[in-house]
Amino acid sequence: MERCADPASLEGLAWLACYLTTGKHLALYWSFGTVLLLLAITAPTALLFGFGGATAARSRIPPLAWLGKGYIAVVRGVPDIAFFLFFVIALDQGFEYVRHLWLCPDWEQPIRQGNDFLVCQQAKLPLGNAPQWVHEVYGFLVAALTFAIVFGAFAANVLYGAMRAVPHAQVETAEAYGMSPRQTFWRITVPQMWVYALPGLGNLWMVLVKATPLLFLLGVEDIVYWARELGGTKTPQFTDYPHGDWRMWYFLGLLVFYLGLTRVSEIGIARLMGRLTKGQATAGGERQRKAGA
């Protein structure tokens, strides 16, 4: 805007209005959407990993059961930060290695050269001449996949326990009616396990919400990055609106955002729990039955 062309001539609310509408502040506002997008992608993907891990852990085929239990034990046993910092690099190099074998079969140089990981240019992800937004989207998707794998292990542990919590008498009844193990699993166990899994999954969702600032460690310019840069900068190289140390106010804004997101989540989980327990032989379902009687 023309009135914001000369920041030195602005004062009061006019200065603040122009300051809050700079390009870097627009990037800050966009980063809130980045966090919400991460949650929208990671939550169902982690649930998918979790369901697969729990189902594998219950398998009667020993190698498949070992794989499921190993996934749960290993990922849950490694500190999140260490796993994030290691796995993102390993995942990225794994993608490039597979592409390298496919696209450059005649490559004669070793891929590992000391501490360097060298593949042909065609195998790079993204390609070196790709636009900047492609690099950012790729980094975000690798980070989202890492989040999903990590939290999928915790979800698998929750779902595994929920599957075992379904009353065995109902499984036996289904078998007595002639249902196959597959039919019993999909028609009896899976529909009823969610009421037992939701408390644990709800807690896991809250942990996932609190873990989103780890995007900052993975090289994604999230809300923590912009809050730190915009709040703490005093140099004109970063902004035309130099100021004192305002990080407290920026991080206070993040506090309000996360508390609001947590409160909305609590309301949503409570309503979902009420719907799932309706008609179920649980304490919540019994309270609903008595209230309606």
- CA 248, 255, 268: angle at the middle one, nearest 5? 175
Is the preceding peptide bond at 63 cis, omega within 30 degrees of 0?
no
- Side-chain half-sphere CA neighbours of 208 within 13 A: 31
Q: Which amino acid is at 235?
A: T
* CA-CA-CA-CA dihedral for 211, 215, 217, 222, to nearest 10: -120
Read off the amino acid at residue 200.
Answer: G
Report the distance separating Cα 208 and Cα 193, nearest Å. 22
Per the prediction, the chain carries an average pLDDT of 84
pLDDT band with cut points at 50, 70 and 90 for residue 133: confident
Query: Phi and psi dihedrals of 234, rounded to 5?
Result: -130, 5
For 56, other C-beta atoms within 10 Å of its C-beta total 21
Phi then psi for 239, rounded to 5 degrees? Answer: -150, 150
**When comparing pLDDT for 1 and 4, which is higher?**
4
pLDDT value at position 279? 63
| Exposure letters 19-49 (e unless 16+ CB within 10 A, then b) | beebeebeebeebbebbeebbebbbebbbeb
Fold annotation for 2-292: MetI-like fold (1.10.3720)
Asked which of 7-11, 164-168, 198-202 is least confident by mean pLDDT, the reply is 7-11
Residue 210 gets the label, from left (phi > 0), alpha (psi -120 to 50) or beta, of alpha
pLDDT digits (tens, 9 = 90+) for 229-286: 888 876 666 677 777 788 888 899 999 999 999 999 999 999 888 887 766 655 445 4
- Among residues 151, 147, 137, 36, which one has the least CA distance to residue 88? 147
Is residue 35 over pLDDT 70?
A: yes
- pLDDT tens readout for residues 203-222: 999 999 988 888 877 778 78
Domain ranges of the chain: 2-292
pLDDT score recorded for residue 56: 95
pTM above 0.85, yes or no: no
